Amino acid sequence: MIDFPILSTLLAIPILGILFMSLIRANNANAERNLKQTALWISFLNFIASLALLFSFDLNNPEFQFVEHYFWLDSSISYHLGVDGISILLIVLTTLLLPICILASYDSIQFAVKEYLISFLVLETFMIGVFCSLDLVLFYLFFEGGLIPMFLIIGIWGGERRVYSTFKFFLYTLAGSVFMLLAIIYIYWEAGTTNVVDLLSYNFTYSEQFYLWLAFFASFMVKIPMWPFHTWLPDAHVEAPTAGSVILAGVLLKMAGYGFIRFSIGMFPDASVFFAPMVFTLSIIAIIATSLIALVQKDMKKLIAYSSVAHMGFVTLGIFTFTLQGIEGAVIQMISHGIVSAALFLCVGVVYDRLHTREIERYGGLVNKMPFYSFAFMIFILASLGLPGTSGFVGEFLVLLSIFSVNTYFAVFATTGVVLAATYSLWLYRKVIFGALVKDDLMDILDLTKKEIIIFVPLIFLTFFIGIYPKPVIDIIEPATSNIVKNIQGKLS
Amino acid sequence: MSMFITLLPEIIIFLGGCFLLILGLFIKKIKIINNASIILIIAVLILILFQPIQSILENSFIVDEFSQVFKIMILLGSLSCLIMFNSSNEDLHINIYEFPILILFASIGMMIMVSSNDLLSMFVGLELQSLSLYVLASLNRNSLLSSEAGIKYFILGALSSGLLLFGISYIYGFTGNTNFNLIAVNYNSQSLGLLIGIVFVCAGLAFKVSAVPFHMWTPDVYQGAPTPVTGFFALAPKIAAMGLLVRFLFNSFGEIYFDWQQIIIFISIASMVFAAFAAIAQSNIKRLMAYSSIGHVGYALIGVACVSTEGLRSLVIYLLIYLVMNIAVFSFILSMKRKDEYFENISDLSGLYKNHPFASVMITLTMFSLAGIPPLAGFFGKFYIFMAAIESNMFILSIIGVLASVVGAFYYLRIVKIIYFDEPQEKFDGFSIKSLNFLFYPSSVLITVFCFYPSPVINIADFTIRSLL
């Protein structure tokens, strides 16, 4: 089991699945059904494979595991894979969300089904690749490559303003990322390698760190996204199909958070410390401003999108405290947000499939007709605002704890974000679920179908599991995190 | 004897071309002439692989690794052009059997260009190539646009040849030599006359590679010329002129690179930025590809401007990938036809994926590759180019380059948008033409799978530049 190239297998399963699926002709409804079934099984198989990865993961080993190292471009730019406690969880999150996405688009996607499923499977390979590549060029390849399927997903199957949104998404992210490419090339010439393991112990000079950090930051701040470059996110979310929003909020945003943890603070600790106040300020602005913006939204998806920006603000806050709790909190917040925001977008998708509108005003009193739905929605809303006992609380609490130890003022401002989150989340919930059922078209709305229940059950389970008993998760990320923190402190002193 | 062997590929094409020219008078069947030319080129391609490395005619004509690889690229370009012509000559109403022969003669000219190590052989090759191209551009006599393209190309081309010749005379006058290697020994780097010579020759060659500010002919000629000819313009002459530029600059003025480096940097930046913005407003896909090729030349010129091993290596990688991408695009453009009517507007592609799902996927990937998005081949081309630029500490140039590539991504994405996001139209007939599919699918698949096994291309590039160092 040890020598088996399980990470390459994870990358290869979706690709092989695509080759298989491209042989199936999607000329009638039956064949399309078969295609969806096939894609579902492929992604489920990948999920099982990632579970195998998780269970054979050695908890006590803080180094990268399952390492694969082959010749690729030249002797120093190689095909180098490996996972540690942080990336392994994000990989499992990815493979978990993929079958859910495919299941969620069973009925809502009516045309070009084959292209749709292929896009998602390609995207899965790229996302897993981002989290397990240990070579900067390989990382960039996966990081940018994900733009292609996402561009198509939003552009082809999106809503009315899909063209504008998808171009905005693509060009924003690309413009940010090209600077990272130049930085990677500079690192190649300066350090003589793009091997992440070697680079983590390499010492860049102070001025080099300064520019390289900014180049990486340009890429990650657009992707995560941070204020003031967050404006692509609400547009992309609103126009994307439900599954697209799920994967966007669930995984794509985490790639940037992961990048901060792995590269920015690991390779450029001096610059990270220097810029930390700026990151804090931007994060605080993001948390408060986007929470206030979320309060006045008329569109459910837009509201959740803005809340995503606020939640990712906590992630960056946690990462740049350089403390054990902070980074652990950030990772848990990422995982939790990956589950909860994905679930919230699915919740919106449920009512959107029935009424084809996302306007909050058009809903009200759903609790009378959709009790199961109201229950599921409530859990995720509460998890989103960070109620103790749900996964949202653990991450936010750890982050606030660590930021308090660094700077009290920032902590105070960040905490107001939690209050604001409660305000807009509960406001949304009250508007949609409670109140009198007066709207005509809501009278015969149906509750969750079996398929939708199957989608929500694992997400509800995970929300509570991480919230009530986070120890297994912390056990997995702790060795890797303490390794990172030790590395930073070693370099700083 | 050694002279004969060294010139054998050129001689074979020349004799074969003359023979076909006479044969054509009697049989008047374009298909036969065309197929014979294809066979001729394939034979020469194989011959080039086995040629010994040597220089003849007092070192004015060189066969080395560099010229071999460039000749192979040029002949591949000519070959794909002939294959494209094979499938389209009847529908384009070009009943001129000289077409393949002109391509052959242009190929000879280009082969001489990349082999020449002397101002005289360089000019002879360049003119042979240019004269053939002028005729090719205006080949479609019934079309006003094609005639206009030919005339425009001819007038501006003659002007650029004049500039080139003027520069050559200065270089000869101030060094007393025409051989590149002897120029390198005999120049006086303080001489202003020599500098003028370099500037004029660079301007003449920049015209041939269609770099800004000498690009004005490109969009009109690309649009006006028959599509197989446009494909030929985009493929072979650019590569040949780029090879010539490299050999001219490096062999004769490699030591005083600071004199010409700024010129190359300027036209490189100008080409990248201009092409990125100008292409946005285009509605004709051939015109768009003209601007795209200007942009690509800008990136390739970064490789020249680096004046380093890494730079030349990246240039060769870039040109190889550029060649494959353009073969894919032009065979695709030629497939856009219904009955015998060809469509050239980008809007004609709307909703293509409904009728031609597989072709749409492949052209989409090609477009992303042209935009330089990983993991497609075009990304690696740009990656190596910027690698060379950063190694030479040209940070500003690389930042402008990557930003231009972001702007440039927009117009490639626009094509993807039209193919996938817009309302479908009728089917095209052209996507079932075997010879076009034979070009389109292998080349677009190559672009896609390049990332899995990039080392052959990198090894070829290393091999190519061995003789220049």
What is the least distance, in Å, from the CA of B178 to any CA of chain A?
39
Determine the residue type at B206.
A
What is the least distance, in Å, from the CA of A465 to any CA of chain B?
38
Please tell me the predicted confidence (pLDDT) of residue A438.
80
Segment A450-492, tens digit of pLDDT: 888 999 999 999 999 999 999 999 999 999 999 899 988 888 8
Q: Which residue of B has its CA nearest to A143?
A: B374
Secondary element (H or E) of residue A116: helix A113-132
Cα dihedral sign for A4, A8, A13, A15?
negative
* Angle, alpha carbons B389-B392-B398 (nearest 5°): 30
Contact A419/B at CB under 8 A: no
Q: Which of A141, A167, A188 sits opposite B375 (nearest CB)?
A: A141
Predicted confidence band of residue A62 (pLDDT cuts 50, 70, 90): confident
Q: Which residue of B has its CA nearest to A155?
A: B421
Q: Which residue of A has its CA nearest to B355?
A: A112
**SS3 category, B209:** helix
Contacts made by residues A199-206, CB under 8 angstroms, sequence distance 24+: A199/A136, A199/A267, A200/A266, A200/A267, A200/A487, A201/A487, A202/A267, A203/A491, A204/A267, A204/A268, A206/A270, A206/A271
Q: What is the ipTM of this complex?
A: 0.92
Q: Cβ contact (<8 Å) for A174 and B409?
A: yes
* Structural domain count of chain B: 1
Contact A347/B at CB under 8 A: no
B61-63 and B54-56: which strand pairing?
A: antiparallel
Tell how far CA B240 is from the center of its chain: 7
Q: Cβ contact (<8 Å) for B373 and A148?
A: yes
Between chain A and chain B, the number of residue pairs with CB atoms below 8 A apart is: 81
Query: DSSP character for B366?
Result: H
What is the C-alpha end-to-end distance of chain B, expressed in Å? 28
Residue ranges of alpha helices (H) inside A364-436 are 371-384, 391-406, 408-433
Spatial separation of the C-alpha atoms in residues A316 and A311, rounded to whole Å: 9
What is the least distance, in Å, from the CA of A155 to any CA of chain B?
6
Mutate to test the interface with A, among B380, B390, B391 (most CBs of A within 10 A): B390
Segment A291-333, tens digit of pLDDT: 999 999 888 899 999 999 999 999 999 999 999 999 999 999 9
What is the least distance, in Å, from the CA of A92 to any CA of chain B?
23
Spatial separation of the C-alpha atoms in residues B207 and B204, rounded to whole Å: 5
Q: Which chain A residues are Cβ-neighbours of B403 within 8 angstroms?
A: 175, 178
Please tell me the predicted confidence (pLDDT) of residue B468.
78
DSSP characters over A68-96 = EEEE-SSSSSEEEEEE-HHHHHHHHHHHH
Q: Which of A137, A156, A171 sits opposite B420 (nearest CB)?
A: A156
What is the least distance, in Å, from the CA of B410 to any CA of chain A?
7
Mutate to test the interface with B, among A76, A181, A255 (most CBs of B within 10 A): A181
**SS3 category, B338:** strand
Secondary element (H or E) of residue B61: strand B61-63
B61-63 and B337-338: which strand pairing?
A: unpaired
Q: Which residue of A has its CA nearest to B403?
A: A175
The β-bridge partners of B63 are B54
Contact A160/B at CB under 8 A: no
Length of chain A counted residue by residue: 493
- Longest distance between any two alpha carbons in chain B, whole Å: 65
Q: Cβ contact (<8 Å) for A115 and B403?
A: no
Contact A57/B at CB under 8 A: no
Contact A174/B at CB under 8 A: yes
Q: Cβ contact (<8 Å) for A174 and B406?
A: yes
Q: Which chain B residues are Cβ-neighbours of A144 within 8 angstroms?
A: 373-374, 379
Please tell me the predicted confidence (pLDDT) of residue B431.
84
CA dihedral A449→A452→A458→A460, nearest 10 degrees, is -80
Predicted confidence band of residue A201 (pLDDT cuts 50, 70, 90): confident
Q: Which chain B residues are Cβ-neighbours of A156 within 8 angstroms?
A: 420-421
Domain range for B110 is 2-468
**E strand map for B61-209:** 61-63
Q: Which chain A residues are Cβ-neighbours of B357 within 8 angstroms?
A: 114-115
Cα dihedral sign for B331, B332, B337, B343?
negative
Residue ranges of alpha helices (H) inside B116-143 are 119-137
Omega cis (within 30) before A225: yes
Please tell me the predicted confidence (pLDDT) of residue A2.
54
Contact A421, A385 (CB under 8 A): yes
Please tell me the predicted confidence (pLDDT) of residue B469.
65
As given in the structure block, the two tokens for residue B252 are 């004769």
* Angle, alpha carbons B193-B237-B93 (nearest 5°): 140
As given in the structure block, the two tokens for residue A313 are 């603000």
Q: Cβ contact (<8 Å) for B386 and A182?
A: yes
Q: Cβ contact (<8 Å) for A185 and B357?
A: no
Q: Which of B374, B386, B409 sits opposite A145 (nearest CB)?
A: B374
Segment A131-159, tens digit of pLDDT: 999 999 999 999 999 999 999 999 988 88
Q: How far is CA A363 from CA A246, A427, B104, B382, in A?
A: 22, 13, 72, 51
Contact A79/B at CB under 8 A: no
- pLDDT at residue A335 is higher than 60: yes
Q: Cβ contact (<8 Å) for A171 and B410?
A: yes
Mutate to test the interface with A, among B272, B299, B353, B373 (most CBs of A within 10 A): B373
- pLDDT at residue A1 is higher than 50: no
Q: Which chain B residues are Cβ-neighbours of A71 within 8 angstroms?
A: 455
**SS3 category, B386:** helix
Spatial separation of the C-alpha atoms in residues A73 and A137, rounded to whole Å: 10
Q: Which chain B residues are Cβ-neighbours of A170 within 8 angstroms?
A: 409, 413
DSSP characters over A205-270 = -HHHHHHHHHHHHHHHHHHTT-TTS-THHHHHHHHS-HHHHHHIIIIIHHHHHHHIIIIIHHH-HH
Segment B166-206, tens digit of pLDDT: 999 999 998 888 888 888 888 777 788 888 999 999 999 99
Counting Cβ atoms within 10 Å, is residue B22 exposed (0-12), middle (13-18) or buried (19+)? Answer: exposed
Q: Cβ contact (<8 Å) for B410 and A167?
A: yes
Question: How many other C-beta atoms are found inside a 10 Å radius of the C-beta of residue B91?
Answer: 16
Residue ranges of alpha helices (H) inside A434-470 are 450-468
Contact A82, A65 (CB under 8 A): yes
Q: Cβ contact (<8 Å) for A174 and B386?
A: no
Q: Which chain A residues are Cβ-neighbours of B450 within 8 angstroms?
A: none
The β-bridge partners of B56 are B61
Collect the ranges in chain B with pLDDT lower than 50: none
Give the start-to-end residue ranges of the domains of chain A.
268-493
Please tell me the predicted confidence (pLDDT) of residue A364.
83
Contact A359, A299 (CB under 8 A): yes
Buried b / exposed e across B126-146, counting CB within 10 Å, b at 16+?
Answer: bbbbbbbbbbbbbbbeebeeb
Query: DSSP character for A388?
Result: T
Counting Cβ atoms within 10 Å, is residue A75 exposed (0-12), middle (13-18) or buried (19+)? Answer: exposed
Mutate to test the interface with B, among A143, A182, A214 (most CBs of B within 10 A): A182
What is the least distance, in Å, from the CA of B390 to any CA of chain A?
6
As given in the structure block, the two tokens for residue A408 are 């009290």
Contact B117, B61 (CB under 8 A): yes
What is the least distance, in Å, from the CA of B403 to any CA of chain A?
7
Question: How many other C-beta atoms are found inside a 10 Å radius of the C-beta of residue A205?
Answer: 9
Please tell me the predicted confidence (pLDDT) of residue A369.
84
The arithmetic mean of pLDDT across residues A376-403, rounded, is 90
User: Using alpha carbons only, how large is chain B's radius of gyration in Å?
Assistant: 21
Secondary element (H or E) of residue A289: helix A269-295
Q: Cβ contact (<8 Å) for B420 and A114?
A: no
Q: Which chain A residues are Cβ-neighbours of B386 within 8 angstroms?
A: 181-182, 185
Q: Cβ contact (<8 Å) for A167 and B421?
A: no
Secondary element (H or E) of residue B352: helix B352-355
Closest by alpha carbon to B285, among B354, B235, B340, B231?
B231
Segment B68-120, tens digit of pLDDT: 999 999 999 999 999 998 888 777 777 788 889 999 999 999 999 999 999 99
Query: DSSP character for B306?
Result: T
